[in-house]
Structure 1
Amino acid sequence: MAHRVTGVAIFFFLFVHVLDTALVRVSPEAYDEVIATYKNPVVNLLEVGLVGAVLFHALNGLRVVAIDFWSQGPRRQRFMLWAVVVVWAALMLGFLYPMTEHSWRVLFGEG
């Protein structure tokens, strides 16, 4: 279920991304205004969620491929799921501070 939810979330992000990027052809000033609204801690939190969704979707997709094409895949799917969760959590912990560093500085008045 999480694989499907992350896939749908990624699809909607890509849809919005294409729309706001296309805005630059219509009005560069409007594009600049839209992009300026994205520079806040709430959107930064959504970006962290997007990275988490893409990362989980990719790792879990590899697990699904292993289940389908490896003879031991169906038997070891539970272990592989936990491996995906552990690797995802470790990578997200590594991404978390660099991705949110600017927001922390804005929130606590350092920049």
Structure 2
Amino acid sequence: MYRGGEGQWAYYLHRVSGVLILLYLLLHATELTAPLFGSDFAASVAGWFQTASYKLLRLLAIGAIIYHGLNGIRIMLMDFTSWGTKIQKYAWYVAVILFLLMYIPIINSQLPAIFNLGGR
């Protein structure tokens, strides 16, 4: 299963998406606790949350959440069913296709707003 191919990619992407989600949660915790460290620090943190780099990171975090959730369902099928390991390769392709179907519209709606191209 993890000897290259789809299973290996699913493994790596699941780990990377989990780390991205963790980093985003740490940033969110920083935002919530920033007022405890003074108004100057809170203002600088709030200012950073309005930058394009943060908005791109947020867009990546959304993608990580979507992929991590869909791949998690695939992993549960492999772990809790007798037939899950037989279809794991096809289930990964289904997860990737569903990811793209969910994520591409989000990218299309958010990128113009991030780069001030007339979006929301």
TM-score normalised by the shorter chain: which range applies? 0.7 to 0.9
Match of 1:13 among 20, 24, 40: 24
Question: Which residue in 2 is equivalent to 1:54?
Answer: 65
Q: Which deviates more, 26-35 or 9-18?
A: 26-35
Equivalences, count: 109
Match of 1:72 among 41, 59, 83: 83
Q: CA RMSD in A?
A: 2.1
Question: Which residue in 1 is equivalent to 2:50?
Answer: 39
Asked if structure 1 preserves the Cα contact closer than 8 Å seen for 2:112 and 2:119, the reply is no
TM-score (norm 2): 0.78
Asked if structure 1 preserves the Cα contact closer than 8 Å seen for 2:109 and 2:119, the reply is no
Task: Report the CA distance between 1:71 and its aligned residue.
Answer: 1.6
Aligned partners of 2:34 and 2:73: how far apart in 1?
35
Structure 2: runs of 5 or more not aligned: 1-11
